[in-house]
Homo-oligomer: A and B are copies of this chain.
Amino acid sequence: MEILPERTVERLSHYRRVLSKLLEINKEYIYSHEIAKLLHITPVQVRRDLMLIGHSGTLRKGYRIRELISLIGTIIDNPEKYKVAIVGFGKLGHALLNYLTENESNLHLVALFDTNPEKIGTTNNNVICYSVDRIPEIIKRYKIDMALLTLPPQFAQLTANQLVESGVKGIINYTSSILSIEGAFLEQYDMIASLEKVAYFTKPEFYL
């Protein structure tokens, strides 16, 4: 299978989430325009995404929801769950912990890391918080795939290097520091930049 566009992967995640809810209320088939309406996108985009993952619907009946969910699973999930660590157990780290434990997903949160002695050694939602000194050891031992960086920006690059050296293959950087890493997929999410962007577009001269 070809590598999918990033945007398509994001939408697959959305598709699966809304379809799962529909499955629960025993809906069996769904049209592309119904999916589109739920996500506020166009029907063409839905069909195109499904084409890319090689899913076929039934003419004039739409897509079999159960089948589609399962196909999306084979594409964006792993046979085993992805193992995730949160580095920096502050407010944001805690929020992410909640997201990960509340939402059923293919991600398995395995470890937390922090520098605060009061946090180290505690168990939160069944996940242990380790000292950041033990990053290489724990990452390797549990074969952790992904890390979420929510620590103070000045430590972000150094920590990212350590993580990648220890085998992490995906990083989401929530700090305001800009990282460069090789050998792993990096996603930056800068809250301040995002806030300032939205602020810019709230200027009255831009309303449509």
Contacts and interface: CB of A to CB of B under 8 A. Distances in A.
A94 interface: yes
A106 B202 contact: no
Interface stretch (A25-33, A44-52, A131-139, A168-176): A168-176
Interface in A1-49: 3-4, 6, 9-14, 17, 38-40
Interface residues of A, number: 65
A184 B172 contact: no
Contacts of A172: 194-195, 198
Contacts of A170: 198-199, 201-202
Interface stretch (A61-69, A95-103, A111-119): A95-103
Contacts of A169: 202, 204, 207
Interface of A: 3-4, 6, 9-14, 17, 38-40, 75-78, 82, 84, 90-92, 94-96, 98-100, 103, 105-107, 145-146, 148, 169-172, 176, 178-180, 183-185, 187, 189-204, 206-207
